[in-house]
């Protein structure tokens, strides 16, 4: 993400509004949000919800999955993914490109690119999908 986006003084208040809404607004009550903890410290977070693309056929969308780099490889990523996505539902996500580590993770969990891409805030993202029943 470009430094201009990260350095914007309005970024933190905007993110706080987004998260307050995501966690408290009834419109988002069907979202699933979980955190991973190690010794009482949050080391990862994931959120999923209904698919948001107007023409999509997948049932769920992984909105985010982040694990602190110091905890990569400890099992938090798969645990978070499994906690927010039902393996009996099809799912989609957008992942930064290039992002070899994240893309390898999603590939391992049976996601594959569907050929769609977009660029927001200077970041290119590609859409990946996973059919139902492939946990």
pLDDT tens for residues 8-36? Answer: 999 999 999 999 998 999 988 999 999 99
Contacts of 112 (CB under 8 A, 6+ apart): 128, 129, 130
Q: What is the pLDDT of residue 133?
A: 86
pLDDT tens for residues 50-77? Answer: 998 888 899 999 999 999 999 999 999 9
Q: What is the pLDDT of residue 134?
A: 59
pLDDT at 1 over 80: no
78 vs 15: CA distance, rounded Å: 25
**pLDDT above 70 as % of the chain:** 98
Q: What is the pLDDT of residue 52?
A: 86
**pLDDT above 90 as % of the chain:** 84
Contacts of 26 (CB under 8 A, 6+ apart): none
- DSSP code of residue 71: G
pLDDT at 135 over 60: no
Residue 73 main-chain phi, psi, to 5 deg: 85, 0
**pTM for the model:** 0.88
pLDDT at 82 over 80: yes
Tell me which of 5 and 39 has the higher pLDDT: 39
Dihedral sign, Cα of residue 81, residue 84, residue 90, residue 93:
negative
């Amino acid at each position: 993400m470009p430094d201009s986006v990260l350095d914007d003084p309005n970024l933190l208040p905007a993110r706080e509004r987004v998260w307050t809404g995501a966690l408290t607004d009834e419109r988002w009550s069907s979202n699933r949000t979980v955190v991973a903890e190690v010794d009482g410290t949050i080391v990862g977070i994931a959120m999923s919800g209904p698919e948001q693309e107007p023409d999509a056929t997948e049932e769920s969308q992984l909105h985010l999955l982040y694990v602190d780099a110091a905890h990569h490889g400890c099992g938090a990523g798969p645990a978070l993914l499994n906690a927010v996505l039902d393996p009996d539902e099809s799912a989609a996500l957008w992942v930064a490109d290039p992002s070899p580590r994240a893309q390898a993770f999603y590939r391992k969990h049976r996601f594959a690119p569907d050929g769609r891409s977009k660029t927001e805030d200077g970041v290119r993202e590609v859409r990946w999908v996973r059919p139902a029943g492939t946990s």
